[in-house]
Structure 1
Amino acid sequence: MKIIIINGPNLNLLGKREPEIYGSETFEEYFEALQTKFPQIELHYFQSNIEGELITKMQDVGFSFNGIIINAGAYTHTSIGIGDAVKAITTPVVEVHISNTFSRESFRHQSYISGNAKGVILGFGLKSYELALLSFL
């Protein structure tokens, strides 16, 4: 089983950025722990701060991987293009957010991804990614 985690803008700053919201662990550290916990999954990771790169990566893997977990960061709330990419591919997508976006600013309550995703997991910190992985097993 091949699954990719795709992270959007500013998620490369996990471990440094607003630790009261996002915690103090880097995503690379967490990703290594996920690989150890799920050895039966061929787990890949991609991060970009650039919207088009996220879309291109989804198109590249969206017909051959078994699952995509995406945390599009702020693009969740602004990118019709990412939402359209999720709709265009055949690989199931789970939308993930580290924080509970509904307990934050009102603009974070809108998602252009959710309507085309297999599911949405939010508010469980980095554990949200693990919950998303479990949904593919």
Structure 2
Amino acid sequence: MKIIIINGPNLNLLGKREPTIYGNSTFEDYFKTLKSKFNEVELFYFQSNIEGEIIDKLHEVGFSYDGIILNAAAYTHTSVGIGDAVKGIETPVIEVHISNIHAREEFRHNSFIAPNAAGIIVGFGLKGYELAIQSFL
């Protein structure tokens, strides 16, 4: 089974950015833990701060992988293009957010990804990625 985690803008700052919301761990360190815990799964990771690169990656893997875990971060609430990319691919997508987006600013309550996602996991911290992997298994 091949699963990719795609993270959007500013998630490269995990471990440094607002640790009270996002924690103290870098995603790279957490990804090593995921790979160890789910060693029966081929896990891949991609992060970009650039909307078009995220769309290109969805196009690249969206017909050949078994699952996509997408935390589009702020693009969740602004990118019709990423929403359309999720709609246009065959691979199921689980939308993940580290924080509870519904307990934050009102503009974060809208998702252009959600209507085309297989599921949504919010508010469980980094554990949300693990829950998403388990949903594919």
Band of TM-score, shorter chain: over 0.9
Q: Give distance in 1, aligned partners of 2:85 and 2:20.
A: 32
The one-letter amino acid paired with 1:19 is P
Q: Give distance in 2, aligned partners of 1:122 and 1:69.
A: 12
The corresponding residue for 2:47 is 47
The one-letter amino acid paired with 1:87 is K
User: Secondary structure of 1:4's partner?
Assistant: strand
Unmatched 5+ stretches in structure 2:
none
TM value normalised by structure 1: 1.00
The one-letter amino acid paired with 1:5 is I
How many Å apart are 1:49 and its aligned residue? 0.1
User: Secondary structure of 1:135's partner?
Assistant: helix
The one-letter amino acid paired with 2:96 is V
1:3 is aligned to 2:3: yes
1:88 is aligned to 2:125: no
How do 1:59-78 and structure 2 match up within 5 A? 59-78=59-78
User: Number of residue pairs matched?
Assistant: 137
| RMSD of Structure 2 on Structure 1 (CA) | 0.2
How many Å apart are 1:34 and its aligned residue? 0.1
The corresponding residue for 1:14 is 14
* 1:101-123 C-alpha deviation (Å, 9 max, x unpaired): 00000000000000000000000
Q: Give distance in 2, aligned partners of 1:115 and 1:40.
A: 30
Unmatched 5+ stretches in structure 1:
none
Identity, % of aligned positions:
72
> Runs ≥4 in structure 1, deviation > 3 angstroms?
none
